[in-house]
């Protein structure tokens, strides 16, 4: 019984050693397996980028303001083609805000896609939340080239003024 147990153990060691190439240590084999896994993940990620489509859209517009001639909005959205989430960068340039000079602010954060606004359950809203969570900007996606700034309740302005941004790239 002891001889067959020793023989079985020796066979297992031989099989394990041959699977590892005979001369590699367990650490080397683990490193090789990790490298192969990383290479596979990189291939899958690049295939996902192609399949899911990395997208970037930039919208611009001059929106009305109470205390200056207007605010230039430049909103760049980064997302995958078939995903409702992503990131954003928004620059607000207040025209002639301080002593006749422009004053700009830039915000970055995450972009979420919401469904519905008051009066339109099928509307698509892009909600941009700054990294610090202090500011939220809501934009109604009117069509493929136009988005409109909404208030914090996702309502359009009760004004005839233009709050729309147009796709530029």
Q: What is the pLDDT of residues 116-158, one digit of tens each?
A: 999 999 999 999 999 999 999 999 999 999 999 999 999 999 9
- Angstrom distances, CA of residue 42 to CA of 30, 45, 56, 123, 131: 18, 5, 22, 37, 28
pTM of the model: 0.68
Report whether pLDDT(165) > 50: yes
* Sole residue written with tokens 């109470």: 66
The span from the CA of 156 to the CA of 118, in Å, is 9
pLDDT band at 169 (very low <50, low <70, confident <90, very high): confident
Q: What is the pLDDT of residues 66-87, one digit of tens each?
A: 889 999 999 999 998 878 899 9
pLDDT band at 62 (very low <50, low <70, confident <90, very high): very high
The CATH number, out of the four listed (2.40.160.20, 2.40.128.640, 1.10.10.10, 1.20.1280.290), of the domain defined by the range 54-167:
2.40.128.640
Asked if residues 65 and 93 have their Cβ atoms less than 8 Å apart, the reply is no
Q: What is the pLDDT of residues 97-118, one digit of tens each?
A: 989 999 999 999 999 999 999 9
């Amino acid at each position: 019984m002891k001889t067959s147990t020793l023989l079985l153990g020796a066979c297992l060691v031989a099989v394990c050693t041959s699977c590892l190439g005979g001369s590699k240590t367990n650490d080397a084999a683990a490193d090789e397996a990790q490298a192969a896994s990383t290479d596979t993940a990189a291939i899958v990620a690049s295939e996902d980028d192609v399949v899911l489509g990395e997208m970037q859209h930039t919208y611009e517009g001059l929106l009305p303001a109470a205390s200056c001639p207007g605010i230039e909005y430049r909103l760049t959205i980064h997302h995958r083609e078939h995903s409702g989430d992503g990131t954003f960068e928004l620059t607000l340039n207040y025209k002639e805000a301080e002593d006749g000079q422009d004053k700009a602010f830039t915000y970055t954060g995450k972009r979420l896609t919401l469904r519905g606004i008051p009066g339109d359950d099928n509307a698509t809203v892009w909600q941009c939340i700054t990294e610090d969570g202090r500011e939220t900007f809501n934009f109604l996606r009117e069509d493929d080239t136009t988005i409109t700034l909404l208030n914090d309740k996702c309502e359009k302005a009760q004004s005839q003024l233009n709050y729309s941004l147009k796709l530029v790239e």
